[in-house]
Amino acid sequence: MPNGYLGKILWINLSEETFQEESLPEEVYRQYIGGYGLATKIIYQNMPARVDALSAEAILGFFPGLLTGTVAPLTGRFMVAGKSPLTGTWGDSNCGGYFGPEIKKCGYDAILLKGAAKTPKYITILDGDKQILDASELWGLDAVQTEEKLLEKYNKAQVASIGQSGENLSLISGIVTDKARLAGRSGLGAVMGSKKLKAIVLKGNQSIEVSDKNTLLENTKKYNGMIKNATSGSVETWRTMGTTFGNTVSFQIGDTPCKNWGGTREDFPDEKLNKLSGSELLKFKQKSYGCFSCPVQCGAIMKVPEANLEETHRPEYETCASFGHLLLNDDLISVFTANDLCNRAGLDTISAGGTIAFAIECFENGLLSEDETDGINLTWGNSKAIIEVLKKVIAREGIGDLLADGCKIASDKIGKGSETYAIHALGQELGMHSPKYYKSMGASFAFDPTPGRHTSASLDMIAGGPIIKPDGLFEGFALPRKFKRPGEERSEAEKLIAGLWQSFNSLGLCEFLAFFQQYPLKEFIKSIVGWDLSMDELIKIGLRIQTLRQAFTLREGVDIINSKLSDRTVSIDYLEDYKGYCEKMGWNPKNGYPLKETLIDLNLDFVVKDLY
């Protein structure tokens, strides 16, 4: 019996309504770990190149991390993965909560979907019993309503579902768990919708064997104790405010964009900014909420009578920025409303806010008339208009139908120079962090295999945490001393972070861990899985994963090297930054293609025939 993982994945064919288990050898886990590492290997080799992401041939998978489901702190993450219908690239989206561990409890390291149902369906996996059932009565409900109805029937189960946006094949839709946890990026909710799959319901009873239970419990108790006893610093800030601590300070330092990336601090002065502060949001907090195995509990359940919300989740920083600063909107109640609407509809808040910002600027510059906005006076800071348009996006009606697939596709339809106002990377709206502040973010946004993502391996953002302290985030990991300066050491640092971050994500670790204290990563891996991995080995595994993600995007015909960002968003030559990174990665800096010798060195021989 393996330790930490189950050695088995489940294939579900919705066209044929069949289930098939597949066993995987230990070597696959040693090479790809879990999460989107395992996803890249399985999907790359099982899905033909250039398949339409919304076709029956497309594969969609749910992948918990290697450590997910164990008591190891901050390991509750899972990945949804497949081809992105929004960008045409490799698509993945990271999500927390409790759904990921339940996949493991059902006995699997992944659940993969292929085919497409003719009528709405939902899947149940309950203590080993697997069924595909009629979802006609659920179709049309939002994700919260769907989860509540299913939990009435399947007590104590975990549910992943789509709302109306996924049903309507909105390319900026995601997949919802725990009523408000979204695998929001890459448009994978539309993939689930294209398969006519409303929900997956899981309830398992399988325990996860570990290599050394006593050492695991000892290290877990020690780490959690340090987190619990922290009464100041980043841990306490995170516990109290979650990501919303950045609502004010990130804007003040120049990290948060405003006015569709074209504004300045003068456009959103302190009297407006302070209305969106983490402290203001705290006034509505009812209780803390967190993911499986998390000692921090950075989420919060809120009650907002002014928005008629008896129970809702606290908006994250990204949501506050995309529906606040980006739209010059200082109406906090409307941000709560937008967040709740998006959670219920299964709509990515970053892309939704970014697309509405695009629409406002088009309206302001006469590219959209009031007739075309359905009579809505779509102006900066007009919170009522913002919510009206958002509801139309969710329903895919009127102006909402134009905007439901993101700003690039809307711009392609509008024309008339509107591309100036469409801020995206290969079709995906950018995360709410500025490459003018985090310089490496320009190359990450433009050229990562999943573009436009603030959670990609961006050196400057990650190095903002304790990773660069003398004792480091992980024992045995250090960055070159001059990594902040342009040159070879910076490119080497970008490579090291890319390698570390892919393994980090594939293990199921929460990225916020990078802002806490030193984490005994190697000890947890050894006590759970039994592997005595060095940091160099972890980095090489991560480089293999990143290179295969890159190969997937290139195999799909994406001209990654010519991905361009708006001049509004960047202040350095991000292409030159990327070329230095490519050289260190063993990729051709002229086109981003991994070199043959790199593929062979990383045991990716099967990719050579596809790229050469």
What are the pLDDT digits (tens) for 348-374?
999 999 999 999 999 999 999 999 999
The mean per-residue pLDDT over the stretch 48-62 comes to 98
pLDDT at 87: 98
Q: What's the one-letter identity of residue 125?
A: I
Q: Do 264 and 369 fall within a single domain?
A: yes
Beta pairing, strands 121-126 & 197-203: parallel
CB 176 within 8 A of CB 162: yes
Is 441 inside a domain boundary? no
Contact 26, 8 (CB under 8 A): no
The amino acid sitting at 122 is Y
Nearest Cα to Cα of residue 135 among 120, 119, 124, 149: 120
pLDDT for 470 equals 47
CA 62/CA 188 separation, integer angstroms: 11
Torsion angles phi and psi, residue 242, rounded to 5: 60, -150
Q: Report if residue 536 sits inside a domain.
A: yes
What is the per-residue pLDDT across 425-451, written as a single tens digit (0 to 9) for each? 999 999 999 999 999 999 999 999 999
Element (H, E) at 10: strand 8-13
Distance CA 339, CA 453 (A): 19
Q: What is the CATH number of the domain that holds 397?
A: 1.10.569.10
Strand order in the sheet with 111-114: 18-23, 8-13, 111-114, 60-64, 78-83, 90-95
- Kindly state whether residues 23 and 140 are assigned to the same domain: yes
Distance CA 84, CA 82 (A): 6
Is residue 462 helix, strand or coil?
Answer: helix
- Beta-carbon contacts of 556 under 8 Å, excluding residues fewer than 6 positions away, are 49, 50, 83, 88, 89, 90
> 422 pLDDT exceeds 60?
yes
- Are the CB atoms for 341 and 312 separated by under 8 Å? no
List CB contacts of 244: < 8 A, sequence separation 6 or more. 277, 278, 281, 314, 315, 316, 317, 320
Q: Are residues 32 and 178 in the same domain?
A: yes
CA-to-CA distance for 597 and 604, rounded, in angstroms?
10
**How far apart are the C-alpha atoms of 395 and 45, rounded to whole Å?**
36
Question: Long-range CB contacts (< 8 A, 24+ apart) of 18-25?
Answer: 19/130, 21/108, 24/109
Claim to verify: residue 70 and residue 187 sit in the same structural domain? yes
107 contacts: CB under 8 Å, gap ≥ 6: 6, 8, 128, 204, 206
pLDDT for the residue 253: 95
Q: Do 165 and 276 lie in a common domain?
A: no
Please, are residues 602 and 540 in contact by the beta-carbon 8 Å criterion? yes
- Label residue 469 by pLDDT band (50, 70, 90): low
pLDDT band at 476 (very low <50, low <70, confident <90, very high): confident
Tell me the CA end-to-end span of the chain in Å, nearest whole number.
39
Quickly count: other Cβ atoms within 10 Å of residue 420's Cβ: 17
> How does pLDDT run across 92-127, given as a tens digit for each residue?
999 999 999 999 999 999 999 999 999 999 999 999
Mean of per-residue pLDDT scores for the chain: 96
Domain termination site, one of 188, 203, 218: 203
| Residue 269 pLDDT > 50 | yes
Spatial separation of the C-alpha atoms in residues 210 and 205, rounded to whole Å? 16
Domain end residue (candidates: 157, 177, 203): 203
CA distance 230 to 5: 32
Q: Do the domain assignments include residue 175?
A: yes
How far apart, in whole angstroms, are the C-alpha atoms of residue 94 and residue 96?
Answer: 7
Chain centroid to Cα 278, Å, comes to 22
CA distance 479 to 31: 24
- 388, 272, 248, 413: which is closest to 330 by C-alpha? 272
DSSP state of 274: G
Residue type, 416: K
Contact indicator for 421, 414 with CB cutoff of 8 Å:
no
Say whether both 474 and 540 belong to one domain.
yes
Tens of pLDDT, residues 299-328: 999 999 999 999 999 999 999 999 999 999
- Could you tell me the residue range of the domain that residue 552 belongs to? 453-611
Both 385 and 494 in a single domain? no
pLDDT tens per residue across span 4-43: 999 999 999 999 999 999 999 999 999 999 999 999 999 9
* Stated length of the chain: 612
Q: What H or E segment, with its residue span, contains residue 387?
A: helix 383-395
Q: What is the pLDDT of residue 467?
A: 54
Q: Are residues 267 and 355 in the same domain?
A: yes
Number of domains the chain contains: 3
Mean pLDDT in residue range 123-132: 98
**Residue 69 belongs to some domain of the structure:** yes
**Whole-number Å distance between alpha carbons of 73 and 87:** 34
Pairing type for strands 309-313 and 299-304 reads antiparallel
Tell me how far apart the alpha carbons of residues 436 and 442 are, in angstroms, rounded to a whole number: 8
Do residues 478 and 415 both lie within one domain? Answer: no
Residue 72 in domain: yes
Q: Name the phi and psi angles at 154, rounded to 5.
A: -125, 85
Q: For residue 566, what are the contacts with CB-CB under 8 A and spacing of at least 6?
A: 261, 420, 422, 423
* One domain, residues 247 and 380: yes
Residue 223 in domain: no
pLDDT at site 229 = 84
Same domain? For 127 and 188 the reply is yes
Cα dist from 220 to 68, 71, 83, 208, 303, whole Å? 14, 7, 36, 16, 33
User: Is 243 among the domain residues?
Assistant: yes
3-state secondary structure of 86: coil
β strands within 188-308, DSSP E: 197-203, 285-289, 299-304
- Quick check: is 224 in a domain? no
CA torsion through residues 402, 404, 407, 412, sign: negative
Which pairing describes strands 60-64 and 18-23: parallel, antiparallel, or unpaired? unpaired
Residue 122: CATH number of its domain? 3.60.9.10
Q: How far is CA 551 from CA 43, 562, 582, 592, in A?
A: 12, 16, 13, 9
Q: Do 194 and 267 fall into the same domain? A: no
Tens-place pLDDT, residues 529-561: 999 999 999 999 999 999 999 999 999 999 999
DSSP state of 273: H
pLDDT higher than threshold 80 for residue 416: yes
Residue 296 in tokens: 């921090």
Q: Express each pLDDT in 393-412 by its tens digit.
A: 999 999 999 999 999 999 99
Structure tokens at 260: 């569709």
3 state DSSP class of 21: strand
Residue 550 belongs to a domain with what CATH number? 1.10.599.10
Question: Residue 1: pLDDT band by 50, 70, 90 thresholds?
Answer: low
